[in-house]
Structure 1
Amino acid sequence: MKFAICQEMFVDWEWEKQCDLIAEIGYTGIELAPFAFADHPSKITQEERASLKKTAEDRGLQIFGLHWLLAKTEGLHLTTADSEVRKNTAAYLVELGNLCADLGGDLMVFGSPFQRNIEEGMSREQAYQNAAEVFRNCLPAIGERGVRICMEPLTTKETDFVNTCAEAIELIDMVGADNFVLHQDVKAMAGAETESIPELIHKYASRTGHFHVNDTNLLGPGMGETDYHPIFKALKETKYPGWISVEVFDYKPGSEHIARESFRYMKEVWESV
């Protein structure tokens, strides 16, 4: 299995130091948050992109994708009634697709809860139509670079738009693009779904493009109450081919401790199921 980690947890670490530690622990993939490198993808030059990629590859690591796509941006929104904002959002996603491809990646996770919340007075149907328009306008160009967008369901504590795997699939089917797929996140599934996580893994196996691991306590796998044995067993049974990527939200135990403990636990569980 391909174990990866989301790098924004290494706050204020130099890129070389991040890659050194991630590789030393045993991960082989890195998932980037664009805001950790610049406030706009256009500010990351081609030379810098090549350097980031080479630094990772020299340590046996692959930058395989991006997430937190619209975090810390202004004037961008997925479901807004403002057509100009929707147009700009699609264009921004194309820029991120180019960044992703230049770094060697092939997927982008669309989470960004604040930039997708439904505006007051807007119907659910209209919100889905607006979001579908944005994705239809950016996915062809992104696809030309070999990049997919993975739609991430989030809990109602985070957003009121796309809370379950079924709702994500509804939007994906509305768009009808081959490079628009489902993203599954353990914390989100535990907090929003009525079916168990293993059931959801089996049910949507053919539609899932990426998988985040974490716990309901916002820490990494093995650092909370979530038992990963049935989760990893389901991923094995469905022959999930993608990355298993650690994404945490509480950094208090320390980035290095979280990274090491998450990897140790995942490796132990994966080998036991």
Structure 2
Amino acid sequence: MTKSVAVSPRRTGFGPLLFCGRLEEGLASVKRAGLDGVELSLPNPREVDLEDLLSLVKRYGIEVSTIATGQSYYNEGISLSHPDPKIRGEAVERIGFLVDFASSLGAKVIIGGIRGKTGQRPPTEEEWKRFLRALEECVRLAEKRKVTLLLEPINRYETNLVNTVKEAKEVISQIGSERLKILPDTFHMNIEEASMEESLVEAGDLLGGLHVADSNRLAPGWGHIDFHSIGRALKEVGFREFVCAEVLPQPDDLSALEKAAQFLKDFP
């Protein structure tokens, strides 16, 4: 089971990432902390030298558990639900580009923030269909490269498209692909799920990994989430996928990493 933390090779306004713009320092620190890998949060992939990135992670012997794609939305407004078909097409193209990169790393690609949102209300039928069509295009690209996409339920304050594990299961049922799994995030679950434990059991073999952060988006142990019960639920379903700490760099990057690493070593 890979234990990782989320990092970014570029500086970004998106908060829960460590060592932003200081990737080599981050990889060295992750290695010293005894963790297996990282989640790479990538902006526009055309602005990143992916060959250099690949060389760097190999040099440090670090696995890449996942590639996160939300910066395309948070930094540039590019999403799979955008009303402009050209912008939706750009979102699909970026996912395809990162799927190709992920295939060389054995990594999974996250469909989280890049979903975008259509407002603070429930999406209309047309808005929902528009998102599903774009997502299906991404899934077909992933199937060709044998890469798994992870649909991450995100809380209602950030999106109105897929807030809960149950909703993610419904989307997967509609798409109908073994290359689409669920990535629960304990921070979002703490807001949306009546029972995080029951939701994880409900997801069962659709679980493709897990993001962990405490109730305040800090490293686990610095908030009030009961991770012992979450661990029991994961063991109940025979969870063997990666666990990634996606946490704020507070009080600083190194302290957050050390706290996350301490937690991950014994979890679940």
Q: Same fold, TM exceeding 0.5?
A: yes
* TM-score with structure 2 setting the length: 0.87
1:173 maps to 173
State how 1:112-131 maps to structure 2 within 5 Å.
112=113, 116-118=116-118, 123-131=123-131
> How far 1:177 sits from its partner (Å)?
2.0
1:222 maps to 221
Q: How many residues are paired up?
A: 259
Does residue 260 of structure 1 match 2:264?
no
Deviations 1:78-100 (A, max 9, x none): 22332232222211210121222
> How far 1:121 sits from its partner (Å)?
9.0
Q: 84-93 vs 70-79, which deviates more?
A: 70-79
Deviations 1:56-86 (A, max 9, x none): 32xxx20121114334453622223322322
1:25 is matched by which residue type in structure 2?
Answer: A
- SS of structure 2 residue aligned to 1:42: helix
1:18 maps to 26
Matched-pair contact (CA < 8 Å) for 1:223–1:262 = no
Partners of 1:167 and 1:203 in 2: CA distance: 11
- SS of structure 1 residue aligned to 2:79: coil
State how 1:108-187 maps to structure 2 within 5 Å.
108-112=109-113, 116-118=116-118, 123-187=123-187
- Cα–Cα, structure 1 residues 252 and 89, in superposed 2: closer, same or farther, change >3 Å? same
Partners of 1:137 and 1:12 in 2: CA distance: 30
- SS of structure 2 residue aligned to 1:184: coil
Partners of 1:75 and 1:68 in 2: CA distance: 12
Does residue 50 of structure 1 match 2:68?
no
Deviations 1:100-138 (A, max 9, x none): 223x1331122116x521158984322221111112212
CA RMSD in angstroms comes to: 2.2
Matched-pair contact (CA < 8 Å) for 1:3–1:28 = yes
- Cα–Cα, structure 1 residues 96 and 268, in superposed 2: closer, same or farther, change >3 Å? closer
> How far 1:254 sits from its partner (Å)?
0.8
2:3 maps to 3
State how 1:216-255 maps to structure 2 within 5 Å.
216-248=215-247, 250-255=248-253
- SS of structure 2 residue aligned to 1:218: coil
State how 1:63-82 maps to structure 2 within 5 Å.
63-69=64-70, 70-74=72-76, 76-82=78-84
- SS of structure 2 residue aligned to 1:209: coil
Unaligned 5+ runs, structure 2: 9-16
- SS of structure 2 residue aligned to 1:23: helix
- Cα–Cα, structure 1 residues 84 and 12, in superposed 2: closer, same or farther, change >3 Å? closer
2:39 maps to 31
Partners of 1:122 and 1:202 in 2: CA distance: 26
Partners of 2:20 and 2:122 in 1: CA distance: 40
- SS of structure 1 residue aligned to 2:19: coil
Kindly, what percent of the aligned residue pairs are identical? 23
- SS of structure 2 residue aligned to 1:26: coil
Partners of 1:267 and 1:54 in 2: CA distance: 22
Deviations 1:174-221 (A, max 9, x none): 222221111111011110112x11111111111111100001111011
- SS of structure 2 residue aligned to 1:225: coil
Partners of 1:216 and 1:120 in 2: CA distance: 22
1:62 maps to 63
